[in-house]
Structure 1
Amino acid sequence: MKILKCILLLFFIITVNAQEMSTISGFVRDDATGEPISYANVFLSETSIGSATNVDGYFVITYVPPGSYQLLASMIGFEIHKEDVNIAENENIRINIRLRQAVLEGAEVTVTAERQKFEQEIESSKISLNLREINTVPGFIEADVFRTLQMLPGVQSGSDFSSALYVRGSTPDQNLIMLDGITVYNPYHFGGIFSTFNTDAIKEADFHAGGFPARYGGRMGAILNVINREGNTEKITGSGNISLISSKVLIEGPIPERNGIKGSWLLSGRRTYIDKIIDLFSRGRAEFPYHFYDYQIKTNIDLGPDHRLTYSRFYGDDILRFSASDRTSDIDGGTTESEYGVDWPWGNHTNGLTWRWIVSPNIVAKTFLASSRYRYDFDFYFDNKETYIDNDSTIHNDFAFDIVYKDIIKDRTLETEIIWKANDRHTITGGFQRKDINFDLSNEYIITTLDTTFTSKPLDMKNRTRELAAYVQDKWDVTDKIKFQGGLRFAHYNLHDKVYVEPRIGMKYNIANDMSFKMNWGRYHQFLITANDPDENFRLIDLWMGLPEDKPASVSDHAILGFEYFSPKNILYRVETYYKDFNHLLSLKQGDVYEENEGEVQSTPFNEFWDTDAYAYGLELLVKKTSGKFKGWVGYTLAKTFYYTPPNGWYAPNHDRVHTLNVVTTVELPNWVSDNLEMNAAITGSSGNPYTPIIGRANDWEQEIRGGRANYPGAPSEMNWFSSNKYLVDKKNSGRYPSYFRLDIGITRKNRRLFKWRYDSYIQIINVTNHENALSYLHRTRTDQSTGNRGVVERAPLNMFPFMIFTGMQFDF
């Protein structure tokens, strides 16, 4: 509380002292839609005074000398806005700028967003992707923000079947994934093949691979904040996408102005329909048991020029549901009826309300209230009803059992943040965060007969955690060449009753106007974990838990050194090297890792963990071009990750890849080839992931005694011997799968017409070369059919995506 009081006192002083200056502030928006334009350049002509817009499109130019100026605003793809302004001493001028879209062929030079990011940002390892860049990567069925992020340096995928992000040695549970600032705990559909985010609604995906600033905490891997568009403020418009297995639609429009209140809204939804297609063509005789759906709502209401309320909602579910029944009769008229099935929904539900208050031109306050719920509810049931007829009597025998697994997370979050642009050298940010989380992880067995119900609950873990945090940060332009960002975050976890201090430091040195060095260091703690097998190659869901009271907080230090060069042709060249140290990671204990029975699945407890240490280091190269007819990027990663657990010592985890090369490109083909034809491609080549090889097989004889006093009193004992065949494995993850290679190609024919609707048709070709990429190996022991003797162990690869073609259509209305 003392820390919070100091921060509140600091911002009271800021508010009092922030009034005595002349400022020009306002918003820059797209004239056609009213959507805010991020990273636009706003400056006073023939001076060095200017600013860049933030993600809300807001800018402020402080300490403007009295006089007459010409104000200019520019962004690539838009006409340059020019406006005359006169400003007096201690005057604050609010100007709202609308930029008109245009195709400029060099008539006037406009600034690109990448240029603004290069000049303004101190953080290393940060990339913001807009919708056009997300759609650059050919997608499985449809474009996906997670699949695009996997093509960046430092980011790995677990497999073709997963869109989860492994970032610089960190696992997906160490990433903070947000939608409009709201935490999303399971951001995947279909076991990870799709992400939960509808790309058509996305304005920007803000990704930090490491070294993130003080406002972010609670995770030690990476940060991804997906920001949805605000909605069209000028008219009602819509768009849609129809593919082979799913469809999605988006509608947006204005809230008419009344009594000074106005706004906009956006609604999007998506659903798979393989289940409906199979049901239609089979006329109900067959069913596909799975589908997913989601929808998003965003509403903005402006309560005058200084206040805005934003409501954001997401709801998505995966549903696996099937049932079967059977009925038999005997000659005596008795019947047996049995029914079994699975009812398995899982998904996310979020709500968020943000109040933005422009306290003064150079002070912006945001208060954020959110709820996030993740539900995993698995229910397998079996019901058997038997009827016997004996003479004139009817005997009933009913038996049923249910197996239930549940994991429910309820997250309630309150945040407030204040950004103060003190002058042209200092921007101070501070805030307070409170997060209350209820965890409920359980496993239940229910057995029911005619007169008895037996319930067993071998797993019932419930806890309530609270995370409190306060932070302050100063972004300081020391000189024209040196920029410094220092932050301090204080985190409190209620089960530990301890304050964790997390310093964050960043520095940037501009060698020239287009060349700079960057350095970042920070400490990060995490207070929640997942109870998943660290060696599984395919993960359908995550089982979340709060950090137990008797376990120390996981902690990681990030150290990053980088070099950037932004060429006159708007090409970004980036080189970064990093080192990450992890302490007190919790790895789920497994069964016997050295011996496995053939065809037998090892049971794994949910609440027993190894205290694990780890470290990761690497070198990353990125060349990115985001303007012109030829766009894309090339990324290379050299990385090593090592984990330590008591039974295995130091080893490379399953997600470790030493070398990865990614190439992503989009080309607008010339008209002499074809009108309005765009082609994109994505190439990935990497070294193989680690696995634990099987080195042989061993026979083991075991003795079992049956009968006698233990089983049948008075009966003689019977001794049985049986053979158990076991695989012997080598040192953990001492082998590697063959190298990975995949080429995907997408072709889009744009601006076609059907009646009054404009649409684009596309074809996506996955794994063009049909390269066999192994997910894992299947093993069996060769048996001589004539003698029954068992011989050598054989293995065969279980491969990932084969050659596939998908097609679809995008349309506007």
Structure 2
Amino acid sequence: MILLFLLSSAIAGRITDAETGEPVPFAGVKDITTGQGTVSDGDGFFFLGKLPPGRHTFVFTQVGYRPETLSVALPEEGVREIYPSIRPQAITAKEITTTGKRQEFEQELAPVRIETGAIRTMPTFLEPDVMRILQAIPGVAAPNDFTTALYVRGSSPSENLILVDGAPVLNPFHMGGLFSTFSTEVLSGLEFWMGGFPAKYGGRMSSVLDVHTKEGDTSAVHGSADVSMLASSLFLEGPLALGSSFALSARRTYFDKVLPLFIKDFEFPYYFYDIHGRARVPINFRTWMGYTYFRSGDVLDFDMPEEYYGIGMHWGNVVNLADFTYLHSPETFSKLIIYESFFRMHMEEGSPQVSEAPFDWFRNSLTSKGAQYSLNWTKRDEGASLGLEFQENDYYYYYKSGNYGFGIRKIPWRAGGFVSLKKKLGRTLINPGLRLDYYKGFSDFLRADPRLSLKYFLTDNLAWLASGGVFHQYEIVINQQEDIMPFAYFWLPVLPGHVPQRSYHLITGLEQWLGEGFTLKGEIYYKRTPIAYDAKYSYYLQEGTEINESGDFVLSPGYSAGADILLKKDIGSLVGWIGYSYCYAQRWQDSVGWYFPSYEKRHNANIFLSYKLGRWSFGTRYNISSGTPYTARLARFRRVYWSEDGETEYMWLSVWGKKNSRRYPIYHRMDLFVETSFHLWRVPLTITGTAINIYNHENVFFYYMDYSQEPPVRKVMNQLPRFFSVGIRSEF
């Protein structure tokens, strides 16, 4: 027991899962004796002060857990430490009167939080995917079925900060964005800020996705194995020596191995894999350390020996992270994170008939090495956090075609600090913050990013929300505006003659508590981006080239404005949400004027529902949205020229209309999900079935011209057709 001499008594500790020993984040803590309450933080720690001495009854609750009641005698003054454990349980609305959700509503300016259990009950294409469930939240759009990238409130995915336990991860996608790199089994939860995020997050100007890894079961080894039509995966967790624990997940696709067994003389030379794990080691009562390893990769090796030709593509991430946490007191702790995050993309196309070396060769990589120290203090609805950061980024970009080569290599660094406060003043919860960054690269920059969030309680169950701030980004991404294939993003530092990209956020809205498990939230926002870069647009291009391949970087400022509304139910047999978004986004180029980015969805509505009935679970998602903008081909003409030997030759050039001035038809799709659990020869099994686009609506992906006919005919490439998939899962 640790006693701190205060004017009144207090209780503090950490809430853990009774079966696994892992911390339970954002759990409710309520003192039945006085009526006061609080909520645990992301690591399960809590503090509740200003309590009278004597015996108190506390209730610890969280969605998906059985409430735990403890009677605790508090000293005359000081802090009583306890470490309650709560046991998982299928909870219905009649079985629980309060959870951490109520305390979160009263005391937090909270982001969107997704429990990993909800991810498995959402219909997704072949594999459960955390990115797919985020795409169903108001404010997030997916321009098509073939990407899991997050387009948040009119911004590009390259403007999002994605973290794994505090380390940045770039392009976390497989197969051109069709699948994300995160395995749901190894995740303990995630936090998603769609704008106005706190000062501790820097380096991006749209949104933040903070992914947390499980620390592992401290009592026994167990796991699960999954087999789907796409991949096989394995998950293990359990104790190690001296109170330490681990969690590890691995996944690999097997198209390259299985398809040749069924199709004669057929090869599919592509696969992807993921490895994600974490270990936690307690050093003493106050100190512990953790280690996270994350690796993802895509491999394509296509060889045509009879043609003396081959294509090779390799891309992926490797993250190594160590963190150290020290508990100064029940309400104060510090944390040190040290990491290295490496992303690379390598492509080569060769023809030995021309050269012994690859004819075309390309490589883009970014290695980030960094450290962050933070000191955190929290007491119920008060708190403070301050920290220091350092990050060094090694950018490498090289392209070679024949005898021509071009490359950039630069190692800029960024150092900064942040301070963030949380205070309850009457009926107002205020969270101001300030971030200061110094960037040294081709040029030197010092940038200050003030942040502010407010929550004013109009009534006990209705709150007014407001947030805003300044946000800077120190990377430039080629094709960031129009590219719908996230794996093709190429990362560069702030180039000579350029300044860091900048954005301003202003958000306000209302949040209504409708009862335990029910919330209604509506927000309107305005986001202005005076400094952003894009590839220069050209109206005339050679037939077969892409719009983005013409020209250099140009300044492309813009803005977005809109509204989001979300009705959400968290507790009971039926859970889910209904959401609607309105987004109006525009960008500017001097040669074009104002235009709509290709990922803007003006109207976007989602319904996601999951129902549990005994050993059966059912889920559905329905999405209807406006079509995305596109640039139309208006005509083509023939350009005549003379070749070196004096022959007359020509090429076809397209004439394009105003950039993104037309829209594809309305998009809509319904998906279904069913799951059942049973035992076969004492082995627990779960079988899942998913139906994608159940009524087989033909959603347009893009238009293209068939030039084999005269005059050319416009044809349609559609998105995902009706598709059924089955998976099986076993736990042990």
Give the TM-score of the pair, scaled to structure 2.
0.95
Query: What is residue 54 of structure 2 aligned with on the other side?
Result: 67
Query: What is residue 637 of structure 1 aligned with on the other side?
Result: 581
Query: What is residue 490 of structure 1 aligned with on the other side?
Result: 436
Residue 540 (structure 1) shift = 3.6
1:647 and 2:591 aligned: yes
1:691 and 2:630 aligned: yes
Task: Kindly indicate whether the alpha-carbon contact (under 8 Å) linking 1:23 and 1:93 is maintained by their aligned counterparts in 2.
Answer: yes
Equivalent residue letter for 2:587? Y
Query: What is residue 407 of structure 1 aligned with on the other side?
Result: 364
Distance, in Å, in 2 between the alignment partners of 1:650 and 1:110 is 52
Query: What is residue 741 of structure 1 aligned with on the other side?
Result: 668
Residue 723 (structure 1) shift = 5.0
Residue 429 (structure 1) shift = 0.8
Query: What is residue 166 of structure 2 aligned with on the other side?
Result: 181
Distance, in Å, in 1 between the alignment partners of 2:59 and 2:366 is 49
Query: What is residue 275 of structure 1 aligned with on the other side?
Result: 256
Helix, strand or coil: the match of 1:62? strand
Helix, strand or coil: the match of 2:261? helix
Match runs of 1:746-761 below 5 Å: 746-750=673-677, 752-761=678-687
Change in CA separation of 1:760 and 1:631 when aligned onto 2, cut-off 3 Å? same
Residue 578 (structure 1) shift = 0.2
Map Cα deviations across residues 567-599 of structure 1 (whole Å, 9 max, x no partner). Answer: 125211011000000011010224xx3223334
- Structure showing greater relative contact order (alpha-carbon pairs closer than 8 Å, 6 or more residues apart): 2
Distance, in Å, in 2 between the alignment partners of 1:104 and 1:267 is 28
Query: What is residue 786 of structure 1 aligned with on the other side?
Result: none
Residue 289 (structure 1) shift = 0.5
Change in CA separation of 1:340 and 1:513 when aligned onto 2, cut-off 3 Å? same
Among candidates 774, 780, 793, match of residue 700 of structure 2: 774
Distance, in Å, in 2 between the alignment partners of 1:666 and 1:471 is 40
Query: What is residue 304 of structure 1 aligned with on the other side?
Result: 284
Task: Kindly indicate whether the alpha-carbon contact (under 8 Å) linking 1:699 and 1:725 is maintained by their aligned counterparts in 2.
Answer: yes
Equivalent residue letter for 1:770? N
Residue 91 (structure 1) shift = 2.5
Stretch of structure 1 that moved more, 632-641 or 98-107: 98-107
Change in CA separation of 1:705 and 1:200 when aligned onto 2, cut-off 3 Å? closer
Query: What is residue 521 of structure 1 aligned with on the other side?
Result: 468
Query: What is residue 595 of structure 1 aligned with on the other side?
Result: 540
1:612 and 2:559 aligned: no
Query: What is residue 553 of structure 1 aligned with on the other side?
Result: 500
Residue 539 (structure 1) shift = 4.4
Task: Kindly indicate whether the alpha-carbon contact (under 8 Å) linking 1:40 and 1:111 is maintained by their aligned counterparts in 2.
Answer: no
Query: What is residue 29 of structure 2 aligned with on the other side?
Result: 42
1:360 and 2:329 aligned: yes
Query: What is residue 765 of structure 1 aligned with on the other side?
Result: 691
1:660 and 2:599 aligned: no
Equivalent residue letter for 1:759? L
Residue 399 (structure 1) shift = 5.4
Aligned residues between the structures:
728
Residue 304 (structure 1) shift = 2.0
Query: What is residue 720 of structure 2 aligned with on the other side?
Result: 801
Query: What is residue 320 of structure 1 aligned with on the other side?
Result: 300
Helix, strand or coil: the match of 1:94? strand
Map Cα deviations across residues 222-264 of structure 1 (whole Å, 9 max, x no partner). Answer: 100111211111100011211012011101001243xxxx121
Distance, in Å, in 1 between the alignment partners of 2:232 and 2:246 is 21
Residue 127 (structure 1) shift = 0.5
Helix, strand or coil: the match of 1:348? strand
Among candidates 78, 91, 105, match of residue 118 of structure 1: 105
Map Cα deviations across residues 691-741 of structure 1 (whole Å, 9 max, x no partner). Answer: 1112233344x242755xxxxxxxxxx5x5455443322211110001101
Map Cα deviations across residues 523-545 of structure 1 (whole Å, 9 max, x no partner). Answer: 10000021126334444422111
Map Cα deviations across residues 153-181 of structure 1 (whole Å, 9 max, x no partner). Answer: 01011311110110011101100011111
Distance, in Å, in 2 between the alignment partners of 1:399 and 1:96 is 66
Equivalent residue letter for 2:102? R
Map Cα deviations across residues 764-793 of structure 1 (whole Å, 9 max, x no partner). Answer: 11111111111111113575xxxxxx53x4
Helix, strand or coil: the match of 2:411? strand
Equivalent residue letter for 1:410? T
1:730 and 2:657 aligned: yes
Change in CA separation of 1:110 and 1:278 when aligned onto 2, cut-off 3 Å? same
Residue 401 (structure 1) shift = 4.2
Task: Kindly indicate whether the alpha-carbon contact (under 8 Å) linking 1:384 and 1:400 is maintained by their aligned counterparts in 2.
Answer: no
Task: Kindly indicate whether the alpha-carbon contact (under 8 Å) linking 2:584 and 2:602 is maintained by their aligned counterparts in 1.
Answer: yes
Change in CA separation of 1:299 and 1:582 when aligned onto 2, cut-off 3 Å? same
Distance, in Å, in 1 between the alignment partners of 2:304 and 2:6 is 72
Distance, in Å, in 2 between the alignment partners of 1:797 and 1:658 is 22
Query: What is residue 315 of structure 2 aligned with on the other side?
Result: 346
Query: What is residue 434 of structure 1 aligned with on the other side?
Result: 390
Task: Kindly indicate whether the alpha-carbon contact (under 8 Å) linking 1:63 and 1:424 is maintained by their aligned counterparts in 2.
Answer: no
Residue 802 (structure 1) shift = 0.7
Residue 600 (structure 1) shift = 4.9
Equivalent residue letter for 1:289? P
Distance, in Å, in 2 between the alignment partners of 1:547 and 1:614 is 19
Distance, in Å, in 2 between the alignment partners of 1:314 and 1:464 is 23
Task: Kindly indicate whether the alpha-carbon contact (under 8 Å) linking 1:177 and 1:183 is maintained by their aligned counterparts in 2.
Answer: yes
Change in CA separation of 1:341 and 1:20 when aligned onto 2, cut-off 3 Å? farther
Distance, in Å, in 2 between the alignment partners of 1:295 and 1:510 is 44
Equivalent residue letter for 2:383? T
Q: What is the alpha-carbon root mean square deviation over aligned residues?
A: 2.2
Equivalent residue letter for 2:661? S
Among candidates 201, 209, 213, match of residue 198 of structure 2: 213
Q: Mark the runs of 5 or more structure 1 residues left unpaired by the alignment.
A: 1-16, 327-337, 386-397, 447-455, 670-674, 708-717, 784-789
Change in CA separation of 1:603 and 1:94 when aligned onto 2, cut-off 3 Å? closer
Match runs of 1:249-268 below 5 Å: 249-257=234-242, 262-268=243-249
Residue 312 (structure 1) shift = 0.5
Residue 278 (structure 1) shift = 2.2
Distance, in Å, in 2 between the alignment partners of 1:212 and 1:400 is 48
Distance, in Å, in 2 between the alignment partners of 1:543 and 1:302 is 40
Stretch of structure 1 that moved more, 40-49 or 575-584: 40-49
Among candidates 673, 680, 683, match of residue 619 of structure 2: 680
Change in CA separation of 1:427 and 1:182 when aligned onto 2, cut-off 3 Å? same
Helix, strand or coil: the match of 2:515? coil
Distance, in Å, in 2 between the alignment partners of 1:106 and 1:683 is 25
Task: Give % identity.
Answer: 29
Task: Kindly indicate whether the alpha-carbon contact (under 8 Å) linking 1:80 and 1:110 is maintained by their aligned counterparts in 2.
Answer: no
Equivalent residue letter for 1:736? R
> Structure 1: which 4+ aligned runs deviate by more than 6 Å?
17-21
Distance, in Å, in 1 between the alignment partners of 2:582 and 2:334 is 41
Residue 465 (structure 1) shift = 1.4
Change in CA separation of 1:603 and 1:656 when aligned onto 2, cut-off 3 Å? closer
Task: Kindly indicate whether the alpha-carbon contact (under 8 Å) linking 1:655 and 1:690 is maintained by their aligned counterparts in 2.
Answer: yes
Helix, strand or coil: the match of 1:512? coil
Among candidates 199, 207, 225, match of residue 240 of structure 1: 225
Map Cα deviations across residues 246-293 of structure 1 (whole Å, 9 max, x no partner). Answer: 011101001243xxxx1210111000001111233457x432110011
Give the TM-score of the pair, scaled to structure 1.
0.86
Change in CA separation of 1:18 and 1:375 when aligned onto 2, cut-off 3 Å? farther
Map Cα deviations across residues 473-493 of structure 1 (whole Å, 9 max, x no partner). Answer: 1101001x2111111111111
Change in CA separation of 1:149 and 1:781 when aligned onto 2, cut-off 3 Å? same
Map Cα deviations across residues 46-97 of structure 1 (whole Å, 9 max, x no partner). Answer: 2143321111111112333333322332224433322232233443322110
Query: What is residue 345 of structure 2 aligned with on the other side?
Result: 376
Residue 647 (structure 1) shift = 0.7
Residue 132 (structure 1) shift = 1.7
Helix, strand or coil: the match of 1:169? coil
Query: What is residue 471 of structure 1 aligned with on the other side?
Result: 418
Task: Kindly indicate whether the alpha-carbon contact (under 8 Å) linking 1:341 and 1:382 is maintained by their aligned counterparts in 2.
Answer: yes
Task: Kindly indicate whether the alpha-carbon contact (under 8 Å) linking 1:75 and 1:110 is maintained by their aligned counterparts in 2.
Answer: no
Equivalent residue letter for 2:669? R
